Amino acid sequence: MNNFDSICRDIEKGIEPDDGALKLLLELEDEAELQRLFSIAYDIKTRYVGRKVYFRGLVELSNICTKNCLYCGIRKGNSKVNRFILTKQEIVEETLWALKSHYGSVVLQSGERSDPEFVDFIEDTLREITLRSEGKLGITLSLGEQSFETYRRWFEAGAQRYLLRIESSDPELYHKLHPADHSYEERVDCLRHLQKAGFQTGTGVMIGLPFQTTENLIHDLRFFQKLDIDMIGMGPYLVHPDTPLAEAMPEFEAKRKHQLKMGLKMIACARILLKDVNIASTTALQALDSNGRQQGLLAGANVMMPNITDTRYRAGYQLYAGKPGMNENSEESKISLEQSILAIGETIGYDEWGNPKHFYQRTGKE
Ligand code: 5AD
Ligand code: SF4
């Protein structure tokens, strides 16, 4: 029995892989071995969270951002971007479309702003969504770093979940990817504040970044465990040509398959380690392969975030180049997603919130 076989058997017996085993899994190249890894993760997913996909309708409400992350297409320093912000009315209408379409939840995402006007605007919008949907929609926010007070206010106004990616859990790599005034420590504090404010809390990283090692990825997985997070949203890094980080990976086009594979391996390892959390099969997987999100489900993910933003605004929200679904309206993407899910024998949790089981285990809440 080789090393890979014995690691697989251990996992099947319920023994958690150590860092050495994770390294071997994350560096797998052999197609048959990869398929075995994905199928082990899929079994764990089936046992802990079932073969049901939850949809979160994604509203990208503004590309105005006060930050300057070196990898991101809508960073403040990119003057080529036309900036927009949806009105409250537009946001509410889009979320009501999600409700009518039986999506149990929505995600409100935007560039980062923490000025009082923005904080009030979000609070007001949350109250309006809660009122108009009669509290039937689960609401996730993905609006970056904020004060504890802001998190508390937004929670009170009706949001239950929050996604804040750590981007890389290794402080040294984090600092290479961000300007000097972006603080790793503050970001970690925000994750703790989110948990304290009562949110189902999600984080995640980019995979296949310049300078990133297998050890960094193992550190990311251990970080998810250590912080006891409920949800994971992570995906492969994709180059955006108008960003400073683009020059660190001139060979990106030749690496697309590799990036996809790394993304899938991370999903599988996260499922094996964290078991009952929600894991998103992200759009970045889809950008690398038209079947990417389906493959994400087969590697252990159980959540999808179909874009429901009006197509008029989509071109303005390109975090990376080649983002799919630019012209596909929400109705069309719903149909194609549905078909791809049914094709792999899974069902869709229509009208369900699909809260992460881990949240109940972590907090003891009913
Ligand atoms: N490639 C992949 N993901 C990216 N993000 C930002 N820029 C890129 C990129 N070039 C991700 C970040 C952020 C999320 C909203 O989008 O992880 O948290
Ligand atoms: Fe702004 Fe988020 Fe992009 Fe950073 S990753 S520049 S915070 S939108």
pLDDT tens track for 309-346: 988 888 889 898 888 888 888 887 788 889 989 999 99
* Percent of the chain residues past pLDDT 90, beyond the cut: 89
Report the pLDDT averaged over residues 218-236: 98
Q: Where residue 260 falls among pLDDT bands split at 50, 70, 90?
A: very high
Q: Determine which residue's CA is closest to atom 18 belonging to ligand 1.
A: 165
Atom of ligand 2 nearest to the CA of 68: 6
| 72: CB partners within 8 A, 6+ apart | 65, 240, 243, 319, 320
**For the chain, how many structural domains are there in total?**
1
Which one of 206, 243, 252, 309 would you pick to mutate in the ligand 1 pocket, going by the greatest count of ligand atoms within 8 A of its CB? 206
Average pLDDT, rounded, for the chain: 96
Atom of ligand 1 nearest to the CA of 167: 17
| Ligand 1 in reach of 284 Cβ (< 6 A) | yes
Q: Can you give the pLDDT at residue 157?
A: 98
Which secondary-structure segment (H or E) carries 57? Answer: strand 52-62
Report the pLDDT averaged over residues 63-86: 97
246 CA → ligand 1 middle, Å: 13
Range with the poorest average pLDDT among 7-16, 145-154, 186-195, 332-341: 332-341
| Ligand 2 in reach of 144 Cβ (< 6 A) | yes
Report the pLDDT averaged over residues 217-233: 98
Listed residue (129, 126, 82, 45) closest to 303, CA to CA: 45
Between CA 366 and CA 363 the distance in angstroms is 9
207 CA → ligand 1 middle, Å: 10
The answer to whether 196 touches 147, Cβ cutoff 8 Å, is no
Q: Is residue 101 included in any domain, yes or no?
A: yes
Q: Can you give the pLDDT at residue 60?
A: 97
Q: Is residue 366 included in any domain, yes or no?
A: no
Locate 88 and state its tokens: 């409250």
pLDDT value at 271 more than 80: yes
By the 10 Å C-beta count (0-12 exposed, 13-18 middle, 19+ buried), 61 is classed as: buried
Report the pLDDT averaged over residues 271-287: 96
| Ligand 1 in reach of 72 Cβ (< 6 A) | yes
The CATH number that applies at residue 236 is 3.20.20.70
Q: Where residue 14 falls among pLDDT bands split at 50, 70, 90?
A: very high
| Ligand 1 in reach of 209 Cβ (< 6 A) | no
Tokens 């890894």 belong to residue? 37
Compute how many other C-beta atoms are within 10 angstroms of the C-beta atom of residue 313.
Answer: 18
Q: Can you give the pLDDT at residue 314?
A: 87
Q: Is residue 70 included in any domain, yes or no?
A: yes
Report the pLDDT averaged over residues 264-281: 98
Q: Can you give the pLDDT at residue 1?
A: 60
Alpha helices in the chain (DSSP H): 3-12, 19-26, 31-48, 88-100, 116-132, 148-156, 171-177, 184-197, 214-226, 256-274, 283-288, 292-298, 311-314, 330-343, 357-363
| Ligand 1 in reach of 187 Cβ (< 6 A) | no
Between CA 209 and CA 275 the distance in angstroms is 25
Strands 161-163 and 105-110: unpaired
92 CA → ligand 1 middle, Å: 25
Q: Determine which residue's CA is closest to atom 4 belonging to ligand 2.
A: 69
- Among the bound ligands, name the one nearest to the CA of residue 236: 1
| Ligand 1 in reach of 161 Cβ (< 6 A) | no
pLDDT tens digits, 181-216: 999 999 999 999 999 999 999 999 999 999 999 999
pLDDT value at 364 more than 90: no
Q: Determine which residue's CA is closest to atom 3 belonging to ligand 1.
A: 237
List phi, psi (to 5°) of 108. Answer: -100, 120
Q: Is residue 148 included in any domain, yes or no?
A: yes
SS3 assignment for 104-132: CEEEEEECCCCCHHHHHHHHHHHHHHHHH
What are the CA-CA distances from residue 356 to residues 144, 196, 306, 321 (Å)?
A: 21, 17, 18, 31
Q: Can you give the pLDDT at residue 324?
A: 87
pTM of the predicted model, to two decimals?
A: 0.97
In this structure, which amino acid lies at residue 14? Answer: G
Which secondary-structure segment (H or E) carries 59? Answer: strand 52-62
Q: Can you give the pLDDT at residue 365?
A: 82
Locate 283 and state its tokens: 């759009």
| Ligand 1 in reach of 271 Cβ (< 6 A) | no
Q: Is residue 241 included in any domain, yes or no?
A: yes
The answer to whether 110 touches 60, Cβ cutoff 8 Å, is yes
The residue range of the domain holding 260 is 3-361
Q: Is residue 7 included in any domain, yes or no?
A: yes
- Among the bound ligands, name the one nearest to the CA of residue 178: 2
Q: Is residue 15 included in any domain, yes or no?
A: yes
Q: Can you give the pLDDT at residue 224?
A: 98
Q: Where residue 23 falls among pLDDT bands split at 50, 70, 90?
A: very high
Report the pLDDT averaged over residues 19-30: 98
Q: Can you give the pLDDT at residue 110?
A: 98
| 287: CB partners within 8 A, 6+ apart | 238, 320, 322, 323, 324
